[in-house]
């Protein structure tokens, strides 16, 4: 009698470090090295944070004990074929620089639909350190916010009749550091300026004002692309694609935790779950959830009756030689779900007020 095969949860990742183009060519370092026999012995850890709201997306990616050839490339920017200083040398001249693109993909070999890009952004700061007596570590501290919003400026004027969608797109295009545009809600076109207006200062301050005025959020996604919408936005609605179902046998780790706005839960690392426009939905079993502790005088959080939640946050953590290889999901009820749940709990038709 042959036993049924046991699933092999084999971890898979790829890290690309792209140097600036030079002479029509671009040097790209790929880890693990596909030509190396011991490629999967390299230790890489990562912590990638993404969210729907106006907060920086970031990634901290650490690479341990690079071989001499790869370390030399990173130290000499790929232009010096000779030997470069070792990472622990006092004479090192770190050449991996701010602004270089880093692309990280991760998942499982037996789950091709869940393997994909979890970070595509730019280096803010490379950090070399000696972690202990034998291990040297290169950490790529990446963020997609600082150079585009926090250290940026804009100054321009708009005539009467310009709508907020045009203003947002113009601010992105004409900032001192131009901001790439992802998805900007057409709903912003409904509000028009009654008279001419001059805008100047930090683009983030102006975008915050427009977001509050429309009950929306903005954020910079992969490669610093500007997205501007909200969960109640009818022009860029929640995705019509059926919610992806997760159970303890299809990826959920531990017990989901109810929150004031929905629930948080952990999955085996799945790059297909993330912050998207339109918003992605996932479905879990509400009977297998740790409920929020109720307190006197505090309005209780309500679970989605159908177990469907909108993904407003996804954090990816991994260690190729450790236990971590997870996606932590922040799920929220939609406005319609919250109203329906409250009506069911109180018997009051909130929509008829």
pLDDT digits (tens, 9 = 90+) for 118-152: 999 999 999 888 888 888 889 999 999 888 888 89
| Cα–Cα–Cα angle for 336, 338, 344, rounded to 5 degrees | 100
Cα(204)–Cα(176) distance, rounded to whole angstroms? 13
Sign of the Cα torsion 227, 233, 235, 237 reads positive
Backbone angles phi, psi at 151, to 5 degrees: -120, 55
Sheet containing 217-220, strands listed edge to edge, beginning at the edge strand earlier in sequence: 181-184, 226-229, 217-220
Q: What is the pLDDT of residues 89-121, one digit of tens each?
A: 433 444 788 889 999 999 999 888 899 999 999
Residue 268 has pLDDT above 60, yes or no: yes
252: confidence class by pLDDT, cuts 50, 70, 90: very high
pLDDT value, residue 37:
62
What pLDDT, on a 0 to 100 scale, did the predictor assign at position 337?
53
pLDDT in tens, 205-218: 999 999 999 989 99
Distance CA(275)–CA(54), nearest Å, equals: 12
Predicted confidence at residue 104, as pLDDT, reads 98
pLDDT of 227 strictly over 70: yes
When pLDDT is averaged across residues 309-328 and rounded to a whole number, the result is: 96
Q: In angstroms, what CA-CA distances link 196 with 103, 117, 163, 347?
A: 42, 43, 11, 48
Confidence at residue 342, expressed as pLDDT on a 0 to 100 scale:
45
Q: How confident is the model at residue 344 (pLDDT cuts 50, 70, 90)?
A: very low
Higher pLDDT, 342 or 321: 321
Percent of the chain at pLDDT exceeding 90: 54
What is the token pair recorded at 87? 């990472």
| Dihedral in degrees, nearest 10, Cα atoms 85, 86, 90, 96 | 80
DSSP character at residue 117: E
Alpha-carbon torsion (242, 248, 251, 252), positive or negative? positive
Q: Across the chain, what does the average pLDDT equal?
A: 84
Sign of CA dihedral 176, 49, 34, 70: positive
- Residue 300 corresponds to which tokens in the numbers above? 């209780």
Identify the CA nearest to 106 among candidates 122, 94, 118. Answer: 118
CA triple 310-315-318, angle to 5 deg: 140
pLDDT category of residue 5 using cuts at 50, 70 and 90: low
- Output DSSP code: residue 249: T
Residue with tokens 């869940």: 114
- For residue 43, name the pLDDT band (cuts at 50, 70, 90): very high
Residue listed under structure tokens 């393997």: 115
CA atoms within 13 A on the CB side of 227: 26
Q: Averaged over 304-327, what is the pLDDT?
A: 94
pTM of the model: 0.85
Q: How far is CA 264 from CA 51, 250, 313, in A?
A: 13, 16, 9
Mean pLDDT across the stretch 263-285? Answer: 95
Is residue 337 within 8 A of residue 304, CB to CB? The reply is yes
């Amino acid at each position: 009698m042959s036993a049924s095969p046991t699933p092999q949860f084999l971890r898979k990742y790829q890290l690309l470090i792209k140097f600036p183009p030079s002479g029509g060519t671009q040097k790209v370092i790929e880890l693990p090295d596909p030509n190396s026999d011991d490629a999967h012995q390299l230790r890489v850890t990562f912590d990638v944070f993404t969210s729907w709201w106006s907060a920086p997306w970031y990634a901290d990616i650490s690479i341990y004990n690079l071989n001499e050839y790869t370390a030399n490339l990173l130290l000499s920017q790929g232009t010096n074929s000779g030997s470069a200083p070792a990472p622990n040398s006092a004479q090192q001249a770190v050449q991996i620089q701010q602004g270089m693109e880093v692309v990280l993909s991760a998942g499982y070999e037996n789950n091709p639909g869940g393997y994909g890009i979890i970070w595509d952004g730019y280096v803010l700061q490379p950090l070399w350190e000696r972690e202990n007596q034998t291990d040297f570590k290169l950490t790529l501290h990446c963020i997609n916010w600082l150079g585009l919003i926090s250290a940026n400026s804009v100054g321009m004027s708009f005539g009467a009749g310009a709508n907020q969608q045009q203003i947002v797109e113009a601010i992105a295009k004409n900032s001192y550091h131009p901001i790439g545009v992802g998805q900007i809600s057409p709903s912003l076109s409904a509000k028009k300026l009654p008279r001419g207006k001059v805008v100047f200062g930090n683009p983030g301050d102006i975008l915050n004002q427009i977001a509050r005025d429309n009950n929306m959020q903005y954020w910079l996604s992969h490669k610093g692309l500007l997205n501007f919408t909200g969960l109640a936005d009818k022009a860029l609605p929640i995705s019509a694609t059926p919610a992806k179902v997760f159970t303890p046998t299809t990826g959920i780790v531990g017990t989901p935790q109810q929150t004031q706005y929905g629930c948080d839960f952990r999955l085996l690392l799945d790059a297909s779950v993330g912050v998207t426009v339109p918003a992605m939905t996932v479905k879990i079993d509400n009977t297998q959830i740790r409920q929020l502790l109720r307190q006197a005088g505090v309005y209780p959080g309500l679970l989605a009756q159908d177990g469907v939640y909108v993904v407003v946050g996804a954090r990816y953590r991994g260690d190729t030689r450790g236990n971590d290889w997870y996606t932590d999901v922040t799920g929220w009820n939609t406005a319609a779900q919250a109203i329906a749940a409250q009506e069911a709990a109180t018997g009051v038709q909130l929509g008829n007020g």
